[in-house]
Every structure is written in structure tokens, then in C-alpha cells.
């Protein structure tokens, strides 16, 4: 495999890891922010709106992880597993947030 492809593998791995972090951070900020007002208020006071805060933090977390990890060693044989992990965690994050808002609307907590 040539060096150019190695760089591409590193970038894909870095993106997968960035997605995992974003999916977790987004779900935590969203759910905890609804249950614990100081978190949502802090996001509002820094970013003017809680959703803008979550958006900005997602971009920052992804960019930092992508920049750090895209120069580190990546193994092609382990790459698909990391991609599947990123996609499953994203799906789980989406499901958790949706389920939370349903439960919250029904006053379950």
C-alpha cells in the first residue's frame, strides 16, 4: 500500500474516532442539559443559545480529535471495526436523545 493511501486510512480512522466522541458528547450535553439547568444555562451564556453551544462544541471536539489522530498510526485491518463502532454509537446517540425527549414529554422523568 502506498504512503498516500496510508494517509487516507489515518484520516478515516481519525474521522471515525471524532464521530464517536461527538456522538457521546452531544447525547450527554443534550440529556444532562435538560435535567440539570445550570449546564443548559452555561451553554446559553457562552454561545447565546444552547443549541449553538452544542453545535460549536461538536465541531471543536471533532476538529481537535481529527487533527491529533490523523497523523497517528492506523491499521487497515482494524479500520472497518472502528467505522462500525462510530456508526453504531451515532445511531445509539440519536436513539437515546429521541427516547429521552419522548420520556421527558410524557413526564416520566
Residue 12 has which C-alpha cell? 478515516
Considering beta carbons, is residue 42 or 48 the nearer one to other proteins? 48
Q: Where are the alpha helices (DSSP H) in the chain?
A: 3-35, 37-47, 50-69, 79-105
Question: Could you tell me which of 83, 62, 70, 73 has the C-alpha nearest to residue 18?
Answer: 62
Asked if residue 80 binds other proteins (CB under 8 A), the reply is: yes
Residues lying near other proteins in the complex (CB under 8 A): 1, 4-5, 8-9, 11-12, 15-16, 18-19, 22-23, 26, 30, 48-49, 51-52, 54-55, 58, 62, 76, 79-80, 83-84, 86-87, 90-91, 93-94, 97-98, 101-102, 104-105
Amino acid at each position: 500500500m502506498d504512503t498516500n493511501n496510508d494517509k487516507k486510512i489515518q484520516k478515516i480512522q481519525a474521522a471515525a474516532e471524532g464521530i464517536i466522541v461527538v456522538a457521546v458528547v452531544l447525547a450527554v450535553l443534550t440529556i444532562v442539559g435538560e435535567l440539570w439547568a445550570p449546564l443548559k444555562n452555561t451553554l446559553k451564556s457562552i454561545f447565546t443559545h444552547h443549541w449553538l453551544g452544542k453545535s460549536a462544541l461538536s465541531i471543536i471536539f471533532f476538529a481537535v480529535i481529527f487533527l491529533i489522530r490523523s497523523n497517528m498510526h492506523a491499521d487497515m485491518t482494524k479500520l472497518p471495526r472502528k467505522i462500525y463502532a462510530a456508526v453504531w454509537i451515532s445511531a445509539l446517540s440519536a436513539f437515546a436523545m429521541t427516547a429521552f425527549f419522548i420520556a421527558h414529554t410524557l413526564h416520566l422523568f
